[in-house]
Structure 1
Amino acid sequence: MPEPAPLTDAVTGAVGDERGPTAAALAVVRRGAGPPTVVTAGWTGREGPAPRPVEPGTRFDLASVSKIVTTLAVMRLRAAGALDLDAPVRSLLPVFAGGAKDAVTVRALLLHRAGLWEWWPLYAPAEDGDGVLGDPAAAVARAAALPLRYSPDSGRHYSDLGFQLLGAIVTRVCGMDLRTAVADLVTGPLGLRATAYGPLTDPDVAVTSRGDAWERRMIATGEPYPVPVRSVPAGRDHWLRGEAGDGNAHHAFAGAAGHAGIFAPAAETARLGEVMFGGHPGWPPEVVAEFAAPGPDAEQALGWRRTEVTTPDGGTVTVLGHPGFTGTELSVAPALGLSWALLTNRLHPTSTPVDVSAARARATRLVLTTCSTGPESGTTGGFCPDVGV
């Protein structure tokens, strides 16, 4: 049997362990090179709904990669002059006010420096009130009412709540619900027809965890966040396919939130990163540059994470991107004209997150080795356009 092509080898290596994941897809977009290259491996699931081979069109629960969709929407509003990043959040969301909150800006939310709790199960009853089910406005109000955990601008504290508030800001500025706003601002202009919030009924979707198993553990143990909640009456106990694994996105926000809830195939996920190449009419170069620049924390730009990655020739390149808890990741190297997405379902079938960092690192290394071409990259890899499964 011939050796598999390099990118296919990276994807097949990400599946097969009985602990999971069972599904993987890698897509690479090269500036000016036509449609994305896509390779897939595995099955949509081992437990639950009838398994199907993973295909290029298989959709995955992107989890926190959804934050990039929210960031792209904010970038559009910034470009249109409709949103001032230095405006106080309270001027847009009056429910977020009082004390140190009054000084928190939109920019601080994007930089994860607003002092918010990292996570809070808004759907579960707690000492401060009842849980929220299926009411995005009430969920935002509850998130906004929570006390700050840290002093604003005292450091980077990655927060789901910050992007829940950013999603609400997008809806406030646009005057429409988040599903419609994202379709108008992001997925429509980019031609991403399969990228959408759940729930989905399409059978070609990777299965994730069994209900809310992992979040129930977090709540029961108070780890890693000591929230004063110890029960989840709204919990799910079935295999999730097409429902956001994130409890807040599904229960509190009815599937569409600023921090989670988007489903997409690998090719369309990779195409989200094309915006950061510059040149798209909806995202002008000056806005792209502003959102790509490092903030007070070198690893964090506005909405995008930043990493310095070693290239095959021994140099370094800045990679922008974002991971998702379900085992997904979007990466963009603007200087090389490369955007790639590795999507897995690492919570299946054990409902416990499997470490896929080695698969991510291998995919990045092979993408930079085989797909970087042209004067910006200094290499002439030739596999990428012709990879097949």
Structure 2
Amino acid sequence: MSSADVLGPVAEAVVAPRATTHAPPGAAVAVEEGGVRHVAARGVADLDTGEALTARHAHDVASVSKTLTLLALRRLFADGALAESDPLARLLGSRAGRHGEVTLDELLRHRGGLAPWWPLYLVPGFRDDPVATALARPAHSARGAVRAYSDLGLQALGGVIAAATALPFADAVRTLVLDPLGATTVTPGRPSPGTPTVSGPDGDAIEREMVRSGDPYPVDADADAFAWRTETVRGVAADGNAFHAFGGAAGHAGWFSDVDGLLRVAGALAGPERLGLGERTASALATTLDPGQGQGVRVYRLRWRGEDRVFLGHPGFTGTFVAAAPATSAAPEVLAVLLTNRLHGRPAPGRDRLVATEQLWLETMAHADAALHPTMTGERP
């Protein structure tokens, strides 16, 4: 069931010009509450053509992809194929390198001590085994001591899923998660043929500058001879490791989706029973050992319809967000999706001009609450 374009002003607020930061050229916003779906899209998918953005456009969801890795692992935990306490060495053997004792739960909670990021594509021989290349990097912090958000840890978990299922990673996620959810519009590496898609950044400019400057992560690799992308990225992953090293989808990034596909994923976060999972999964996702970090998802407490609600979600660097508030005895579940092309611009924005995806989402949810529940918030749409 869907309703009128009540979220139109909310999407317009996302793309409205900002004084000191780059506003996304286009945005799609969706909230599904109590079975009623509200969707709105505003702005453009591509600044050069002026193509209007719609809810059907596929977006590179970047780190929102990590929720698919999480859900696939929860299926394998439930089936008994894997356990949260399993060390990497049990599944990957010598490929786990110096991180063999790190457990799957530690990686999901970003407590495995792995480096936050590394341009694997600058390591000689990276195509032979990008997972092993990631795990050959030295530890960034003491295992289990502190939360240190790590793309490399999720890349390793993608390798674990492939090893445990004897399937390519993307095929395993399709079998374990997407097919059961009917999420046919969530695709690995690129959108389905004929699907409209949005434009992203100017090639690898952001990562190239990260390597050059060493900000925020010092890199000692030789980048001079690398074939950096320079054209506008559209229809392939913007993330350099997903595109160059893994050739598409990986445990940390590289999936594409439209609004409907991510709402189905949000449904599994709110109600794991949709994937045949039970209370153990619901409890694990919401349990925080570090502030705001659940198992594979971030945990937020937001004011919604006059009450404090817990939302489980994840941002993506491209300007995407998926979130869900599980149903309570007093309130229905709430599913939320934000899809923007915040890396696209003329001129293309540098990292210092990008408004944080999490900030975009928090602003969007506040505006959506006011639009959908004016009598609760005291505001009007």
Report how many aligned residue pairs link the two structures: 363
Instruction: Pick one of 297, 311, 318 that aligns with 1:319.
Output: 311
Distance 1:302 1:119, change over 3 A: same
Q: Deviations over 1:199-221 (max 9, x none)?
A: 34546101000100000010000
Deviation at 1:371, TM superposition (A): 4.8
2: distance between equivalents of 1:165 and 1:31?
Answer: 37
2:132 paired with 1:138: no
Deviation at 1:229, TM superposition (A): 2.1
Instruction: Say whether the 8 Å CA contact 2:266–2:323 is kept in structure 1.
Output: yes
Tell me the amino acid that sits aligned with residue 363 of structure 2: R
Instruction: Say whether the 8 Å CA contact 1:278–1:288 is kept in structure 2.
Output: no
* 1:366 paired residue number: 367
The alignment partner of 2:120 has SS state of: coil
Tell me the amino acid that sits aligned with residue 157 of structure 1: A
* 1:216 paired residue number: 208
Deviation at 1:95, TM superposition (A): 3.0
Deviation at 1:6, TM superposition (A): 4.8
Deviation at 1:235, TM superposition (A): 1.2
1: distance between equivalents of 2:125 and 2:209?
Answer: 18
* 2:74 paired residue number: 75
The alignment partner of 1:323 has SS state of: strand
The alignment partner of 2:69 has SS state of: helix
TM-score normalized by the length of structure 2:
0.88
* 1:107 paired residue number: 105
* 1:271 paired residue number: 264
* 1:240 paired residue number: 233
Distance 1:186 1:7, change over 3 A: same
The root-mean-square deviation of aligned C-alpha atoms, in Å, is: 2.6
Instruction: Pick one of 231, 254, 257 that aligns with 1:261.
Output: 254
2: distance between equivalents of 1:68 and 1:283?
Answer: 16
Distance 1:67 1:212, change over 3 A: same
Deviation at 1:323, TM superposition (A): 0.3
Deviates more, 1:289-298 or 1:248-257: 289-298
* 1:17 paired residue number: 17
* 1:27 paired residue number: 30
Deviation at 1:186, TM superposition (A): 1.3
* 1:121 paired residue number: 119
Tell me the amino acid that sits aligned with residue 29 of structure 1: E
With a CA cutoff of 8 Å and minimum separation of 6, indicate the structure with the bigger relative contact order. Answer: 1
2:219 paired with 1:227: yes
2: distance between equivalents of 1:102 and 1:172?
Answer: 15
Aligned-pair identity in percent equals: 35
Distance 1:159 1:372, change over 3 A: farther
Deviation at 1:379, TM superposition (A): 6.1
Instruction: Pick one of 230, 244, 247 that aligns with 1:251.
Output: 244
What does 1:41-60 align with in structure 2 at a 5 Å threshold? Answer: 41-47=42-48, 50-60=49-59
Which has the larger share of helix? Answer: 2
The alignment partner of 1:94 has SS state of: helix
The alignment partner of 2:361 has SS state of: helix
Distance 1:249 1:360, change over 3 A: same
Instruction: Say whether the 8 Å CA contact 1:124–1:234 is kept in structure 2.
Output: no
Instruction: Pick one of 122, 141, 158 that aligns with 1:150.
Output: 141
1: distance between equivalents of 2:334 and 2:373?
Answer: 7
Instruction: Say whether the 8 Å CA contact 1:208–1:351 is kept in structure 2.
Output: no
Distance 1:283 1:305, change over 3 A: farther
What does 1:313-352 align with in structure 2 at a 5 Å threshold? Answer: 313=306, 315-335=307-327, 336-349=332-345, 350-352=348-350
1: distance between equivalents of 2:44 and 2:315?
Answer: 21
The alignment partner of 1:151 has SS state of: coil
Tell me the amino acid that sits aligned with residue 336 of structure 2: W
The alignment partner of 2:218 has SS state of: coil
1: distance between equivalents of 2:11 and 2:221?
Answer: 39
1: distance between equivalents of 2:311 and 2:154?
Answer: 21
For structure 2, the residue ranges without an aligned partner over 5 or more in a row are none
Instruction: Pick one of 126, 139, 161 that aligns with 2:152.
Output: 161
2: distance between equivalents of 1:124 and 1:165?
Answer: 18
2: distance between equivalents of 1:205 and 1:292?
Answer: 31
2: distance between equivalents of 1:175 and 1:141?
Answer: 17
Instruction: Say whether the 8 Å CA contact 2:259–2:337 is kept in structure 1.
Output: yes
2: distance between equivalents of 1:230 and 1:224?
Answer: 17
The alignment partner of 1:289 has SS state of: helix
Deviation at 1:269, TM superposition (A): 1.0
Deviation at 1:239, TM superposition (A): 0.6
* 2:90 paired residue number: 91
1: distance between equivalents of 2:24 and 2:222?
Answer: 29
Instruction: Say whether the 8 Å CA contact 2:305–2:377 is kept in structure 1.
Output: no
